[in-house]
Amino acid sequence: MLSLVVEREINKYYKARQGNPAGIQVEVLGINTDQTSSDNTDEFIGAVGFEVVADDPDWVTYGQFGPGGAASRYVIINGVADSPTHKQWEVLFSETFFQPDEANLLRALIDKVQTPVPVPPKIAVHPQRQDARRGATVTLAVSATGPSPLFFQWHRNGAPISGATGQSLVLTNVTSAHTGEYSVTVSNVFGFEASQAATVKVLEPLPPVLSGLWRHGEGGVEFVLSSEAGREYHVEFSTDLRVWKRVGTFRASQAISIYRNPDMITEPQGFFRAVSD
């Protein structure tokens, strides 16, 4: 019975040696596709000595490695990530039958799988300097190579940022408190590399400038507003520079926009200003 050969010559063989020559553990998983008699299945599993068996009544797993219909199929899969000899989940063997004396052939395939080369991460692209206006979103990113899994830890001014363990760091609604030097440490089981520091500078909004004030025929006023495009400003009026009254709200469509207030302003003279929240 080939299942006994697998249990004796593969499962027990490698457990006694604590893995293949590279120290890679070998796991044997039985897949049961026969749902006609659970008692016979349990008796078979007990007789063979399989430790782990999964039910596959629809032959889903079986069908990934060949056409169904055969009583059995024997598959060897490499599960090691970043192996220099094989791709992860590469199928090394998939047949419905093998000669009992070919167990040494199966072991030869398993023994070829090597562990990842002990290479620490290498940063290919470092985080870049970012200048942003207050309230903007800033994204810092790093690109690194090396055997996976890779782990990331971002720092600000040398101190780790809690929860910042992704390949990118997103800062939303930034304020002057976000200004600083940002870096990231990339690590794996073989070592780590720290990135160059990237400066994040949060700039305060440019103050608006009013010019070209004139009255139009209906009694309202118009003037040119030089500001940041897209920002919302409140226009206020005062006769004494002490008490200010809001007379309009204006969102600048571009850096230089024309503000128009159609309301009647009866005071013979006064002052206008634009403020933002």
Return the pLDDT at 169. Answer: 98
Residue 79 main-chain phi, psi, to 5 deg = -105, 5
Rounded average pLDDT over 66-75: 80
Instruction: Report which secondary-structure segment, H or E, holds 180.
Output: strand 180-188
Task: List the alpha helices (DSSP H) in the chain.
Answer: 2-6, 13-16, 38-48, 60-63, 103-111
Which of 33, 42, 38, 91 minimizes the C-alpha distance to 62? Answer: 33
Query: What Cα–Cα distance (Å) separates residue 123 from each residue in 144, 168, 175, 274?
Result: 4, 13, 29, 47
Over the stretch 79-91, which tens digit does the pLDDT of each residue have? Answer: 998 899 999 999 9
Return the pLDDT at 228. Answer: 75
Over the stretch 105-145, which tens digit does the pLDDT of each residue have? Answer: 999 999 999 998 889 999 999 999 999 988 899 999 999 99
Return the pLDDT at 1. Answer: 66
Cβ contacts of 17 within 8 Å, gap of 6 or more: none
Is 276 a residue whose pLDDT tops 90?
A: no
Cβ contacts of 143 within 8 Å, gap of 6 or more: 123, 124, 125, 167
Banded model confidence at residue 49, pLDDT cuts 50, 70, 90: confident
Banded model confidence at residue 235, pLDDT cuts 50, 70, 90: confident
Banded model confidence at residue 100, pLDDT cuts 50, 70, 90: confident
Over the stretch 238-263, which tens digit does the pLDDT of each residue have? Answer: 889 999 988 878 777 777 777 777 66
Is 215 a residue whose pLDDT tops 80?
A: no
User: DSSP code of 100?
Assistant: G
User: Could you give the CA distance from residue 199 to residue 29 in angstroms, rounded to a whole number?
Assistant: 52
Cβ contacts of 250 within 8 Å, gap of 6 or more: 225, 232, 233, 234, 235, 257, 259, 274
User: Could you give the CA distance from residue 27 to residue 98 in angstroms, rounded to a whole number?
Assistant: 19
* Residue 46 backbone class (left: φ over 0; alpha: ψ -120 to 50; beta: rest): alpha
Domain residue spans of the chain: 2-111, 122-203, 209-275
Amino acid at 185: T
Q: Which pTM was predicted? A: 0.53
CATH architecture assigned to 122-203: Sandwich (2.60)
